[in-house]
Every structure is written in structure tokens, then in C-alpha cells.
Amino acid sequence: MADASAARSLPAHAELRDRLVRAEGPRVPVLPALRTLLPGGLRPGSVVGLDGSGAASLGVALVAGASADGSAQTLSGAHTVSGIHAGGSVHAGGSVHEGSSVHAVGHTDAAGGANGWCAVVGVPEFGVLAACGMGADPRRLLLVDDPAERWPDVVAALVEAVSLVLVRPPERPAPSAVRRLTALARKHGSVLTLMGPATRTWPGLRLKLAVTESEWEGLGDGHGVLGGRRAHVVVQGHDAPGAGRRQWLWLPNAAGQVEPAEAPRARASGRPVLEVVPTPRVS
């Protein structure tokens, strides 16, 4: 009887999960179209990998979701970017730099966790306009185009201060850098989001998002205008056990936004499919 009484007193699995989520702090929000794939948002302090031909667009969408719902906080630069530039805070409309590689799109004074701030490191082609079209607040974006060999120090400084850091590490980052950054992200509640080949070897990924199929809409038989990309996104990992979750999305649609999409219909024979091809080298 005592065992039965104790069993009844134990919280249900869902209740226990909710308690743990509340204990670790608020989730980092995602765009509404991604909430089926990432219910509740991204777990603070986790490492997330992006893979497939649409990894860059997934990164833009995650940055848009994390910064769109952030509160109007400012970010103290004294401790968060002291490893990037000499002194001071990041001021409204200003920039900080080593050379000219580090830019504050907006202004900041609040530290870490789910504060609505995002940083992008080592991704010079990151689409700021695309992110804004998806709902990102450009006042809460920090861009570090080319950190070179100092990328671990730059990321370490940023994970102490922002909700999400999107970074493209070298193909084979040093194990010491991997351990350091994973531990710092966990400590400060920042979501460390990886792009590039390092995603496949980085240990301890909490989630992996991959575009497994995609096609652009809008072109007919050699004519027309691109209207949007339909992408099949698969999420796997600790927060998506078993076979994971999968969904077709417009990434983006004709208006530049992310929204659910129907699976594409089978094409009639003879209709060409738009594919990405490499640019030929001129010898």
C-alpha cells in the first residue's frame, strides 16, 4: 500500500517535464511556423545543428524567431564583448569592430538567456534583410563576419550575453574549443547553433534540423519568376525522440516569410525541375 501511495504521489511525466522546463528558464522562441517541429521553442543552453541545402535559411529563420519576441532590453557590452573590442558598451546605432568585422546592427544593456538578442559569427552572407522579412528585430542583431582564428573567443564572449549564437566553425574545431563553448552555452542559457561541416562531428547536439528535400516554385519551362521555396524539414535529437519530427515548409514563401506548406504534387513528365548547379570555373 505504501508503494501504491508513493506511486500516486509521483507527478505525471508531462507535469515533471513542465517543471523541469520552468526550472531551467524560459525557452528561446521560434517562429509560429516552426512550432510543430520545435514545440515550446529551443531549450536554453543547448547545442543545435543545421544541415542540408537549406541550412542557411533555417539559420535565418531561427534568428528571426529568437529576436522577434525579445523584450526591449539593452545589452551591456562591458563584459560581453570585451574580448572583441577594447572597452565600453555597444551604443545605439553604433558598431564595434576589430578591423571592420564586428557590427552591432542595433543598440544594447541586459545579459544572457532569453533576452531576444542574437549573434551571427563567421557567416558573412547572412541575410539580414531576409531575417527582417521573417520578423527579426534588427536592433537586436550582432554580426561578426570574419573572426578568423579568434572565433572561439568571440563566440565565448557572445554566449554570455545573447539568446542565440549562429556560428559556422572551422571544419575540424579543436576539442578544447568544442568543450569550452558547449559548457559556456549551457552555463549561460544561450542556444549555440552550428552551420557547416562541423555540425556532423560536434558532440552533444541536442537537436539537428535538416532540409532533406527542397524545390523552388514559380518557374515554368524556362521562364517565370521565383515565388518561394518549398522545403521538407526534419528535426531529430534528444528533444525529438524516435523518428523525430518532419514538416513541409515554405522557406520562404513569395512574401519572404516562413509558413507551413503542403507536400508538392508529383510533376508531370517532361516538366523540368529547378536545381541549384555550381558556377563553372573559367580556366
- Strand-pair partners of 103: 143
Among the ranges given (37-41, 111-115, 195-199, 227-231), the one the predictor scored with the smallest mean pLDDT: 111-115
Q: For 113-127, 149-163, 195-209, which range has the lowest pLDDT when averaged over its residues?
A: 113-127
Q: 29 lies in a domain?
A: no
pLDDT at 265: 78
Point out the least confidently predicted range of 134-138, 201-205, 276-280: 276-280
Asked, for residue 2, whether it belongs to a domain, the answer is no
Residue 81 has pLDDT above 60, yes or no: no
Helix or strand (DSSP H, E) at 223: none
Give 194 or 2, the one with higher predicted confidence: 194
Burial class (CB in 10 A: 0-12, 13-18, 19+), 114: buried
pLDDT bucket at 96, cuts 50 / 70 / 90: very low
Identify whether 266 is part of a domain: no
pLDDT score for 223: 65
Which residues, other chains included, contact 221 with Cβ-Cβ below 8 Å and sequence gap of 6+?
Answer: 271, 272
Instruction: Check residue 211 and give its pLDDT.
Output: 95
- pLDDT tens digits for range 39-63: 999 999 999 999 998 999 999 999 9
Looking at the domain assignment, is residue 9 inside a domain? no
Give me the pLDDT at residue 275, please.
Answer: 60
Residue scoring higher pLDDT (84 or 152): 152
- Inside any domain, residue 283: no
In a domain, 17, yes or no: no
In angstroms, the CA 67 to CA 7 distance is 42
- Mean local confidence (pLDDT), 195-215: 94
Q: What is the pLDDT of residue 26?
A: 87
Domain of residue 130 covers: 44-217+225-260
Looking at residue 267, its pLDDT comes to 58
In the chain, the number of structural domains is 1
Cell 524567431 identifies what position? 65
- Would 157 be classed as within a structural domain? yes
CATH number at residue 232: 3.40.50.300
Angle at which helices 151-159 and 175-188 cross, to 10° = 10
- What's the average model confidence in pLDDT over 220-224? 64
Residue 23 lies in a domain: no
Res 245: pLDDT: 96
